[in-house]
Amino acid sequence: MFISTYYVKMLCHVLLLWMISRTEGTLDSRYVKTRVIKELKRCKESMMPLADVLSSDFIGCGVECTANKECRRFMFDTETNLCSLFDFGANCPTGEHVDNKVCYRQEFVCNEVSCFRCPLGYYGDRCQHVATECAEVKGTLMDIDQNQHVLAFIRPSPTGPVIQVRCAIKSTGWWTAIQRRRKGCKEVDFNRTWDEYVDGFGDTHGEYWLGLKHAYDIIQLKGPCRLLIVWWLNDKTRHSAYYNGFNLTDASNGYNISLSGMQERDNATDYLTDGSYSIAGRPFSTYDRDFSGYGCPERLNGGWWYPRTPNCSLMNPSGRLLEDDTEASLRWDDNLINASKAYSFTLNVQCSY
């Protein structure tokens, strides 16, 4: 009798849930299939597994994940039978072929009384609540060292979708990444439309943009907020700065940015609020909705809050990673206004502090 591929897959998924729950007796586990994403091998941070074990099939791999208290996601290679267990995140990045791999993320592990293992960012006796920002995620997971990054789920608006974000853990608390650039990862094109910058794009395991509407929702619900910028130059020197005051207007006003109270760290120059290059009070600009007055989004290869000056900006977090042209490259200029090519760049918001 002929059985369609769809029903075979559905039967396998049901069997996975049943097998995992049965192996733990009174425990109930649930997994959902997600994506396997091609990534550069140099982007190691998001591809380091908790453990690699051999398994006969993806069902056995799910059993291994449920048995490991740190596991919340697994990837199974159907050719090698390699089962890779991971702690956080929804999708599975790999530097190898994707066609022979499947990825599942855990929705919960519960007993008869409550759920004691939820996806990071979810909480409650049945994993029914979701954090608004990374500062709230901290309360759901305490055993993480400073200067680490984790992937977590948040719901910036009570009526909006649940999204995955990158959380930066610093001595000043947990921060939600609005933007992340990194040379070791697959480059994401930041020369995007207005709608894409509003909604967000990229992948949180590598380079991404959170989305203006999500940043706005976090600020409106949890403000007052502050902004943290961290970047590494190609010579591997670290720079950072934060602003004690950070706010955005709504979409109808162009998501105008407000910044105040800049604190310098690591010799960071204030290229965001100082002098004629200040972006304070400026609307966000993209190539299809340009408020800069000088064609800055096209010249610098991406959206940003551009100051009203012919030089557009002394820094370019949306620039190209391998661009030789100084203006369109990922850069943060030094005090002599000489372009310093950046290796990585993150823009982070924190409101519950």
Span of 140-144, 169-173, 194-198 with lowest mean pLDDT: 140-144
- For every residue of 88-108, DSSP letters joined together read S-SSEEESS-STTEEEEEEEE
Please state, for a pLDDT cut of 90, what percent of the chain lies above it: 60
Structural domain includes residue 123 = no
pLDDT tens-digit map of 50-67: 999 999 999 999 999 999
* pLDDT band per the 50, 70, 90 thresholds, residue 238: confident
In Å, how far from its chain's centre is CA 186? 14
Q: Which helix (H) or strand (E) holds 262?
A: strand 257-265
Number of domains making up the chain: 2
Amino acid 342: pLDDT: 82
pLDDT tens-digit map of 291-343: 999 999 999 999 999 999 998 988 899 999 876 667 888 887 754 456 677 88
Please state, for a pLDDT cut of 70, what percent of the chain lies above it: 85
Q: Looking at the structure, tell me whether residues 343 and 218 fall in a common domain.
A: yes
Q: Could you tell me if 266 and 238 are in contact, meaning their C-beta atoms sit under 8 angstroms apart?
A: yes
Q: Could you tell me if 172 and 186 are in contact, meaning their C-beta atoms sit under 8 angstroms apart?
A: no
Strands in 111-213 per DSSP E? 115-117, 122-123, 129-130, 148-154, 163-170, 173-182, 201-202, 208-209
Contacts of residue 93, defined as CB under 8 A and 6 or more positions apart, other chains included, come to 36, 37, 38, 39, 43, 46, 47, 203, 205, 206
Q: Looking at the structure, tell me whether residues 113 and 146 fall in a common domain.
A: no
- Position 127: which residue type? C
CATH number of the domain encompassing residue 146: 3.90.215.10
Is 29's pLDDT higher than 70?
Answer: yes
For residues 120-131, one letter each, b for 16 or more C-beta atoms within 10 angstroms of the residue's C-beta and e for the rest, the string is bbbbeeebeebb
Amino acid 61: pLDDT: 95
Q: Looking at the structure, tell me whether residues 82 and 136 fall in a common domain.
A: no
Structural domain includes residue 122 = no
Amino acid 21: pLDDT: 45
Domain of residue 140 covers: 131-350
Per DSSP, helices labelled H in 244-347 are 296-300
Structural domain includes residue 32 = yes
